Structure 1
Amino acid sequence: MTATRWTAPGGAWIVTPAVAGERFAKARASGATVTLVDLEDSVAPHDKDLARERAAGFFATADPAGPLSGVRMNALTTRAGLRDLIALAEYPHQPPLVLVPMVESARDIEVAAAALDTDGHTPQIWALIETPRAIEKAPSILAAPRLTGVLFGAADYAAVTGAARTWQALLHARSVLANSAAAAGIAAVDSPYFDLADTDGLRREAEQARALGFTGKAAVHPRQVPVINDAFQPTEAELAQARAIVAARGQTGASITSVHGQMVGAPFYAAAQALTERAGHQPT
């Protein structure tokens, strides 16, 4: 089995435009595990410089005891992305997490790390996978040594492929990312659910993502955060079963035993132990 390289944040991630400084406090208070300030899609081209300036203030005022803060930069294949790297490297308060969009090569991660890593700071670097080429190359991209995790970009992927933004239509891409992330020992976070009025649909998709192996899901509005957090929190029944498996293994020391009438072996024990540990880090 492959161990994760980082203690990866699960549950809800929320993205807020860097130009909308008045929303920063609300995003941080939403209950999300990760709060990203956005320099990319939510910022118009003529506002990019303003967004970089305001994003610097976002990290200067971040509470170390609050949610993990990060930035979604522009793609490295754009001038805006290159300017982002220069600006981020010069921030007096460095972003703990950097999400790189439109990643299609492990080289993108190497470039970001080379620009941002210093003797005193090595940010978490996450890849936003959102193109067919990236799905094809996912195993090599996700094996990049400096990569912490991967986030699926369903909207761009569906636009490029012509696929519908439904669970079934995007199941192959999600499955590839979940499998490649597990093989690389890193976390995978699912794409946002874009229908703000459909809470049931959000919960259903979040539960499906968790069942597939994703550790969290992005939110586009604070009202989605509690639904996502709840979906990624183990149920009492799941926790009780996991704890019983861990306890049985500890009591018997056997590689195969019976718990509640079910034969369980090493894979069951590993999954149960991971579930109980993860539950201790999930937002409530």
Structure 2
Amino acid sequence: MTLPKSQQAILALKSWLFTPATKSDRFGRAADAYADALIIDLEDAVAPSAKNEARETALGYLAVMPPDHLPCSLRINSPDTRFGFDDLQALLGSPADPDYLILPKCRSSSLIGLVGNLLGEAGKTAQIIALIESAKGVDALDEIVRGDAKPAALLFGAADMAADLGAETAWEPLLWVRSRVVQSAASTGIALLDSPYFNIEDTEGLKQETKASASLGFHGKCAIHPGQIATINEVLMPSEQQVAQARQILVVNQKGVGSLDHQMVDEAVARKARLVLERAGIAAEK
């Protein structure tokens, strides 16, 4: 059974399109480009002079989304800033209820717990995504993934991380940090989203980085332009052959340790097969 996007687990959401909150005419492009999720951005993509207008635009859009809407996330400004405080206060007092709320510069479990409690008291169902984009955020990873209020996912922010480390915004200089984020997320079964690829003209570079991040353990990748979505989906969407093989593996696994195509099938192999089906938006048969 293939689930509607609005009911899919976060692992099935492979491509996430960032769109400035000031560009409401572009919100629909995420669905048109076949992105799995839309991210409305109130932070880096919005100038300080436009923050108030952007906030009103974003919350107005989120307040009237139909039940079958594309999964939608709102990135607010950091709650420990004036703009972030205003973003959060406005969200809590509005009818808007995004599917996900991205907390930038996340570096503590207590912040996730505080925001989660406020959302709950306001009757919001939004799940929190922790954006890890600073050295302090990396230091706090174990606390964040093991806290009482776990985020629904970790999102790796390459540009701010590189700036914080004084490193180049490229794959190799940030590989250790990416690996550290993957390890932390995997230790508690939290979904993991990778940073956008910032050269929108370099399709081959996007493809190679998406393949590399998937090989490392990331479940999804963000985009900053609709033209990047097709490449991300192509790389991350399991093929029909992979789906068929995953189903065969689970059938064999139900009988205990066995083999398929001369390869041993045990619980570790079955776990990977379940992940393939989940990424494809398919409910594994019990």
**What TM-score, normalized by structure 1, do the two folds share?**
0.90
Q: Which residue of 2 aligns with 1:7?
A: 9
Q: Tell me which of 216, 221, 227 is aligned to 2:220.
A: 216
Q: What code does the residue aligned with 1:265 have?
A: D
Higher mean alpha-carbon deviation, 265-274 vs 46-55, is at 265-274
Q: Identify unmatched segments of 5+ residues in structure 1.
A: 1-5
Cα RMSD over matched residues? 1.8
Q: Which residue of 2 aligns with 1:247?
A: 251
Q: Which residue of 2 aligns with 1:71?
A: 74
Task: Determine if contact 1:62/1:69 at 8 Å carries over to the other structure.
Answer: no
**Cα distance, 1:281 vs. partner?**
4.8
Q: Distance in 2 between matches of 1:272 and 1:116?
A: 35
Higher mean alpha-carbon deviation, 122-131 vs 265-274, is at 265-274
Helix, strand or coil at the partner of 1:19: coil
Name the count of aligned residue pairs: 274
Q: Distance in 1 between matches of 2:230 and 2:69?
A: 16
Q: Which residue of 2 aligns with 1:265?
A: 266
Does 1:34 pair with 2:37? yes
Higher mean alpha-carbon deviation, 10-19 vs 272-281, is at 272-281
Q: Distance in 2 between matches of 1:29 and 1:274?
A: 27
Q: Identify unmatched segments of 5+ residues in structure 2.
A: 1-7
Task: Determine if contact 1:152/1:190 at 8 Å carries over to the other structure.
Answer: yes
Task: Determine if contact 1:206/1:228 at 8 Å carries over to the other structure.
Answer: yes
**What TM-score, normalized by structure 2, do the two folds share?**
0.90
Q: What code does the residue aligned with 1:271 have?
A: K
Q: Which residue of 1 aligns with 2:209?
A: 205
Higher mean alpha-carbon deviation, 270-279 vs 129-138, is at 270-279
Evaluate the alpha carbon distance shift between residue 24 and residue 273 of structure 1 in structure 2; reply closer, same or farther with a 3 A threshold: closer
Does 1:128 pair with 2:126? no
**Cα distance, 1:115 vs. partner?**
2.4
Evaluate the alpha carbon distance shift between residue 90 and residue 28 of structure 1 in structure 2; reply closer, same or farther with a 3 A threshold: farther
1:68-117 deviations in Å (ceiling 9; x for gaps): 11210001221111111101101122222110000011112122113222
Q: Which residue of 2 aligns with 1:101?
A: 104
**Cα distance, 1:118 vs. partner?**
2.9
Does 1:233 pair with 2:237? yes
Q: What code does the residue aligned with 1:208 have?
A: A
Higher mean alpha-carbon deviation, 103-112 vs 233-242, is at 233-242
Higher mean alpha-carbon deviation, 158-167 vs 273-282, is at 273-282
Q: Distance in 2 between matches of 1:42 and 1:119?
A: 27
Q: Which residue of 2 aligns with 1:279?
A: 280
Q: Distance in 2 between matches of 1:71 and 1:64?
A: 17
Residue correspondence of structure 1 range 38-77 to structure 2 within 5 A: 38-77=41-80
Task: Determine if contact 2:9/2:281 at 8 Å carries over to the other structure.
Answer: no
Q: What code does the residue aligned with 1:163 have?
A: A
Higher mean alpha-carbon deviation, 81-90 vs 205-214, is at 205-214
Does 1:175 pair with 2:179? yes
Task: Determine if contact 1:71/1:99 at 8 Å carries over to the other structure.
Answer: yes
1:155-178 deviations in Å (ceiling 9; x for gaps): 000111121222221111111111
Task: Determine if contact 2:92/2:122 at 8 Å carries over to the other structure.
Answer: no
